[in-house]
Structure 1
Amino acid sequence: MNPPSPHQPFVFQSAVATAGVAIGAGAGTGAGAGRSTVATQDSLVHDTRREITEIIREVAVAARSDRTIGQFSSLLVDHILRAMAAEGVVIWYRNSEPPDVPFAPIQRCGRITDKTILPECAATHQTMLSQVAREAIPVVVPATPGASESTVPANPTDTPAAVVPIESDTGSGKIEYLIEVFLEPEGGVTTQRGYLRFVVQMADLAGEFLRAAELRRLKRTTLISQRVDTAIEGLHRNTRREQVQAAIVDTAADLFDFDRVALCIVDAPHATLAAVSHVNKIDHRSDGARFLLSAAGMELDDGIGVIAQENDDHSNTFVVAPHDSASTLRLVAVSSQASSFENRDQLRRFVDHASVSLRNASQFDAIPGGRLLASMAPALQSGQIQWWLRPIFTACVLTMLIILAMLPTPMYVHAPATVRPDPQHVQQVSAHRDSIVLTRYVGHGDKVQKGDILIALKDENLEDEIRGLTRDQSVLSEKQKNVESELRKVRSQGKDGTTLQNEYSELGVNLTGIDDLISLRKQHRESLVVRADRSGRVDSWRIEERLAEGLPLKRGDQLMRIVADDKPWIVDVTVPQNRTSSIHQSSESETLRVQVALDSSPDQPLSATMNQPMGPSVIQTDSGLRTSSVRLQLSSPMAGSLSGVPAKAIFYCGNRPAAYLLFQDVIAKARELAGLYFGHD
């Protein structure tokens, strides 16, 4: 829409020609201006363009840097304000869930910002921001000073405002960030259009930064998850309570970059300081110890509490409790960086396993004779026990070891796996011919019903063929009418019309052929509108960028998949060859139980069944290990999950003697060698 005056809103149109219009440039000079004035203005325009180009370059460099959102938004508003000589700039943010949450400013700069909007006009302004975010179209909103009707979107300031959405999540259709620039009130429509194009360019750079920042956050989360897994494994190896307590606090401090970590045991109304990171001896009467104990007793919201203080010693303190409500463990972490709270889920998971490892260590210490054996081992080596007690002691130790070796212990086999839907219950959607994406109706994770339109494609060559055939059809139809008219005239005069009759028939045959070709081409065009042949959920997370509107496609390119929600998924597992016999024996004895844990949610295992025998053994090219493949079937569908996600299969093979679990590889090797020498039964 091209408005006649700057007092009517207009939306952004990328195809509108704005050649010769610079950011902040006003109307052209009058006809009577001298050559010197023109030269001066040309020089000014040149300098202005150069400065704006430098500003755009600086923002583009910042968008590709590893900055925080606060640092980048501060630089962005400053550069927009300088480039446009605007009255003010505000960057807004709101979480897309739930949708009724108002926008909140995260950065502001200039004379006119959200702080200058009257309180009674704030609701009107929020309505305007919400409408722009919902429509996702850049727009210049004219000034409506004092507007206070909360249901009517308006700009209640005294200057026009350019409001541009920032696309931080490509393909989701949700707008969480907005840039609002308050323009100079005297600018005309052409000037405002130039301003809007510049703000759109800044919003594109901001969206690029936000998407890159999200990828960096996911990478950090994956890295910290792997480090937490390694740390948890180390905790469970310790069996002495004191060593476990020290390992918990030291590992937590190193993993999450805390300045100080304390382990407290809270048994209301008393609390005990059990360990402090990287401290060998604790001064329980110090101010720091009393502060840690008082923090451990605070009430927690969903297992985590935060104490923010202004002093340099304890700027941020996090108190974490495990999910087990019966646990008395509290982890108190002190950090000078608020970003430490970003890994809240991983911190909670670490504390859960810390509580379990500490409980296991306590149970090991409670084993009768466990402490005694540990304390007598040095005495045996130094010869302080009488010689006649040594055989008795040795016999007791051997008896205890034999008993422990024969104790039935659960046997678990862990193997890497990949979870995916059963191909029999998946619709593979591919491009039938070379085309472009015209309209995309669904996104990844959307639920669809049978017959719903998924995507519409367009083939320009096909359209050209249809248009050409239609033109030929019109020409032949007109020619056939002329021949028919001439034939009637000849017959009315009693002349021979055989030649005209043959020509008329030939034209009819040609028209019939063209009609068939047009019908066939239209059928091909209808086939470019792809529909779902089953009800289910869209899986397109691997090819989201390929589905952008306007991008070319080759014949056979995969577009998406429709996965049935009510059908079970399958799991492809790679089992080490030295564990296949245990799984096979348990399967035959019907004691085998299988669970599958996704790497993204290891604490929520899913039940599975093994309905097929194991495949032949092969040697892995990367590791050189001999493995066998087996396919499992999940007991329940996985609605909304990603196809091809990594997981871990856990086979419960019944109870075996503890000694067998410790030396099963040695036993299997001995059996193999015995078979070579003595033959198999």
Structure 2
Amino acid sequence: MDDEAIQRAKYEIQSLVQEVVQLSKSDIEPADFFSATMDKTVSALAAVGGVVWMLDEGGPLKLEYQVNLRETGLAESEEAQIQHGRLLTQVIAKGEPTIIPPYSGGDAENEEAAANPTEFLLILAPITSDRGVEGVMEVFQRTGGRPTTQRGYLRFLVQISDLAGEYVKNRRLLHFATKQTLWEQLEAFTTLVHKALDSRETAYTIANEGRRLIGCDRVTVVLRKGTKYQVSAISGQDTFDKRSNVVRLLRNLATTVSRTGEDLWFTGDTTDLAPQVEKAVNAYVDESHTKQLAVLPLRESDKDLEENTEENQDKRRENILGAIVIEQLVDSRPPEGMLQRIDVVRRHSVTSLGNAQEFEGLFLLPLWRTLGKTKVLLTARNLPKTLLAAIAIAGAIFALCTIPYDFTMVADGKLLPELRRNIFPGIDGEVIKVPVSHGEAVRKGDVLALMQSLELEAQFTELQGEIASNLEETITTDRQRQMLGDNPQKDPAEVEQLTGRLAQLEATRLSLEKQYELLEQKKERLTVTSPIDGKVVTFRVRELLENRPVSRGNRLMEIADPSSDWELEIYVPEAKMGHVIEYQQKLREKDPDAKLQVSFILATHSADHLTGTVEEIDTSAEVMGEEGNTVRIRVSFPQEDLKRLVDDPANQLKVGADAKAKIMCGKQPVGYVLLHDLFEFVQSRILFRL
């Protein structure tokens, strides 16, 4: 029976050793390896506890894993901890396994000498590898065992510590191999990402090579184009549909995050995100089902903006080149070293994209590329032709800069009669009938619209009731006064009181009649009439107004008299008004009555040019459709010119006919005339921001 127990114990120990052997050859984390190894060791030796101590590089011992260390009593005495620490240091220095009896060692004169201050038998075995001692495995065993048994404990622990040393060596070699592979990947990434000076090609390289280096599922590069952001490259895809839901939502997410200027790390929780970022994240995650997400703005480095002020934050947002989006689609656990690799990819991406965009922003880059690649132009045979072409180009540039040409501001306009009126309601109410239609001739005083006001009717009803009540009370009071006057025993004070009441009722009656007259005047305003002779020029006026509530100030329709003189009303964008005002001031310095000249054509008669003069320029701008802020300018012209176009302008011309006008703004070099829009764009959008 004893032999069977011994054989069973040996078998269990051999099985345990084999398990540790398998663990030492596996690629698991040190914490997992030492926890499994020490748990098995303590269990096999039926010990009280155990500890794995590892040496930090250039530092003291570090507790890697422990089992029941608190039960040893070391934590209760700082002096005991110092003695125990010196004991571990001695074992590491000697590099040999040993057994230390309870309460042994130390020196009466030196209380901090190396010793075993516990009541347990200490079994110590160093963990050694090809680099020497890496740590110590320590087991706290109960006393009472025979010397042969204690030596058996030591042999077993030495065997386990040797396996731990093999694990440390193998892991270091694996780490070196992984590091070598990482360096090779990094070298390949940096070589490829800095190879091209084309932003799209660089973005494609970042997406594909960056995904390999990071070890994630997908990398997307979003580049900034002016004020907008575009998805430029997605790893593993040569082409993609930019209008697809996933790409569209990803672009919106990158745009939102980039405008905040802050990094986004999403692992499933959005409680700490800004509302606009949270909304964009939820929309994209619901569509793509990604597990883990990082959106990192790519910002040009600027050492002058390192101070964290509000002004510098705004400038840093302007330095955004784009964003890199990193995703884990399946496993939400990041690979080891992923954050460091992401940082490397990000820094190199900023540099490469910054260089590419700076190169692409060179003035006349296509021309310089062509000249750089074309060496044939400078050969002896073609040199005269090249010089002749250069002289021709220089001459053209000189001509563009010196030859004067008419400088005009082009704007849209409308042909309108001078006599026209906008019709407004005189009171709040509801339009119940519009007896006129578009194009119908009306005369002054004709009814244009009939309105009703429930509020006004209620006021009439209330006022009529008050008038009737006042009349009834007046009759009653007057009758009482007459009866009292016929009574010989009348009370003079009572008669005087009734007389005063009649006077008060009379004053009230006059006030009510005045209010009634005012309500009658308001009621008259419910009938909207034409202030002039003319035509209704508002299109579909009945459909627009009937059964519609209106208020004072709402324009109902427009009446124009086409038999009066016509004028041109043009709408100049506010950005062009500077040239108009500048030339007008220049003319009036010589002649205070000078007027700007205008030439225009009608859309219905585009072959005939008409001329006129600027009579009035509005002092304020107003929003006009897609043009944005525009300034209204009134232009007069000879009425005979219209009669050259049509025989009867009053009936043949359309009110509000479209026109295209050019305002004369003097002479300027022909190059400026052709390219002034470009010059102004550069001044306002580029140079102004510098």
- With the shorter chain as reference, the TM-score category is 0.3 to 0.5
The structure with the greater share of residues assigned to helix is 2
- Between structure 1 and structure 2, the one with the greater Rg is 2
